[in-house]
A and B are shown apart, each in its own frame.
Chain A
């Protein structure tokens, strides 16, 4: 086996037993052989050191960002789970006129639904009930909100006399705030103010 092959096997840890002992003895005795060995050893170490140094200064997080930025990985649609996702998707599909009309229709429906039952003629002026209350000249106003959702609230107008004379309680004519159909169809006589007040919670 020539020296160069022996050096290679020695560097790669492939000599053992007697071969290893013989070669190490020769290294002690032959400086030239030792220099050859050192030169090859240093070359490999230089290459390793160069790579190790580069690895220390490399950002592998940046590598991940760069790779994932280039990959066609599936990405979640913006607003994918939101209630407006179908509209957004429709919009993205460049069907702008249809989508716009749909949005306008939804907005109109939303506005109409938000208006209360007494607001139909509200734009024309104050309601009849409000005019009656303001014209009664009462000092105190009691408003009873009924428990039932569909019943109309009752507004009691109390004038100064009622407050001054407890025994002869005179109550101004009660005005029931109710819808016009209800008022027209109802001929029920007015109950006394006291009875009505007792009924108040």
Chain B
């Protein structure tokens, strides 16, 4: 996702003005980062109302704790950490599962899949009608099943479009850890799509991709899973 390039005064200048009591500067800072903050919260929570609540609370915290902000890290990094922590708090308070009404859910999935280059899938499976409703639900479930850490790198890579180095800096981990988490997040999502990509007689893909959709792990507590643990052991 492409974000517009920053215009106007720098973040530091705006922060100085806010600390001097200029309310307009805070509005400007909010306008600059509200979409990105919402994108991150939406990617993490996958519910617009919850994401909006989290972004609201994040900006309130930014305002209250701005005197403690240290400019040795970028403002967005600081904001991102606040948003992420609030998302994790939200999981703990309200549970991890995103509640989507059945009808709304499948209609939405249909539209989103259309958006997400579903024509490519049709091209792959010309002889098989694609059940987009089921595919959308499976993808949605697979996204929900990602752990916080896997989801985090997925959001920063796919939504924010950050490089591995940038993700490592924001998340506060090594580059190899970022790659490992991203790899496992994508692999889990790939598993969700396997039944829809499998054509008759092609079992190899399922075998290569792992156990299948039914074995997706739900690890919301934020513990590292499989590959990352292996990487750390090495």
**3 smallest beta-carbon distances between A and B, as pairs:** A43-B189, A45-B116, A49-B115
Task: Report B-chain residues with C-beta under 8 Å of the C-beta of A1.
Answer: none
Interface size, chain B (Cβ < 8 Å): 59
CB within 8 Å for A67 and B205 given contacts A48-B1, A51-B39:
no
- Enumerate 16 A-B pairs (CB-CB under 8 Å) in ascending A order: A5-B183, A8-B182, A8-B183, A32-B202, A32-B208, A36-B208, A42-B120, A44-B154, A50-B108, A53-B108, A55-B39, A60-B31, A60-B34, A67-B59, A73-B23, A74-B21
Q: How large is the interface on A (under 10, 10 to 19, 20 to 34, 35 or more residues)?
A: 35 or more
Q: Decide if A40 touches B35 in the complex (CB within 8 Å).
A: no
Residues of B within 8 A of A8 (CB): 179, 182-183, 186
Judge if A35 is at the interface, Cβ distance under 8 Å. Answer: yes
- The stretch of B5-13, B48-56, B72-80, B89-97 in contact with A is B48-56
Say whether A191 faces chain B, with CB atoms less than 8 Å apart: no
Interface of A is mostly: helix
CB of B63 within 8 Å of the partner chain:
yes
Task: Name the distance in Å between A49's Cβ and chain B's nearest Cβ.
Answer: 4
Per-residue contact bits, chain A 90-110, to B (CB 8 Å; 1 contact, 0 not): 000000000000000000000
A111 to chain B, nearest CB (A): 44
- Shortest CB-to-CB span from A88 to chain B, Å, is 24
Residues 156-174 of A, flagged 1 when their CB comes within 8 A of B and 0 if not, give 0000000000000000000
By the criterion CB–CB under 8 Å, are A35 and B112 in contact? no
In the complex, which residues 38-72 of chain B have their Cβ closer than 8 Å to any Cβ of chain A?
38-39, 42-43, 46, 48, 51-52, 55-56, 59-60, 63-64
- Beta-carbon contacts under 8 Å, A20-63 to B: 31-32, 34-36, 38-55, 57-58, 60, 63
Does the CB pair A46–B124 fall under 8 Å?
no
- Residues A47 and B159 in contact in the complex (CB < 8 Å), given A5-B183, A39-B197: yes
Known: A46-B136, A63-B56. 15 other contacts (CB 8 A): A31-B124, A32-B204, A42-B121, A42-B193, A44-B157, A47-B154, A51-B1, A51-B42, A54-B42, A57-B48, A63-B30, A67-B59, A68-B27, A73-B23, A74-B21
Interface of B is mostly: helix
- Report yes or no: A71 in contact with B34, Cβ–Cβ below 8 A: no
**Are B186 and A40 closer than 8 Å at their CB atoms?**
yes
Q: Does B190 contact A (CB under 8 A)?
A: yes
- A139 to B: closest C-beta gap in Å: 75
Q: A45 CA to B114 CA in the complex, in Å?
A: 10
Contact with A along B137-157 (1 / 0, CB 8 A): 001001100000000001101
A138 to chain B, nearest CB (A): 73
| Chain A: minimal CB distance from B192 (Å) | 8
Q: CB distance B55 to A71 under 8 Å?
A: no
B229 close to A (CB within 8 Å):
no
Mark A residues whose CB is within 8 Å of B.
4-5, 7-8, 11-12, 31-32, 34-36, 38-55, 57-58, 60, 63-64, 66-68, 70-71, 73-74
A46 touching B21 in the complex, CB below 8 Å, given contacts A35-B197, A39-B193, A51-B42: no
Per-residue interface assignment for chain B, residues 104 to 136, with 1 indicating a CB less than 8 Å from any chain A CB and 0 otherwise: 000010011101111011001000000000001
Known: A32-B205, A63-B55, A71-B60. A43 touches B39 (CB 8 A): no
| Contacts A39-B197, A46-B116, A64-B30; A4 near B42 (Cβ below 8 A) | no
A70 to chain B, nearest CB (A): 5
Nearest chain A residue, comparing its CB with the CB of B164: A12
Q: Kindly state whether residue B194 has any CB partner on chain A within 8 Å.
A: yes
0/1 per residue, B173-185, Cβ < 8 Å to A? 0000001001100
The answer to whether A50 touches B112, judged by C-beta atoms less than 8 angstroms apart, is yes
Cα of A44 to Cα of B159 in the assembled complex, Å = 8
B1 touches A46 (CB 8 A): no
Whole-angstrom distance between the Cβ of B116 and the nearest chain A Cβ: 4
Q: Give A192 Cβ to nearest chain B Cβ, in Å.
A: 78
Q: Say whether B209 faces chain A, with CB atoms less than 8 Å apart.
A: yes
- On chain B, the residues within 8 Å of A60 by CB distance are 31, 34-35, 38
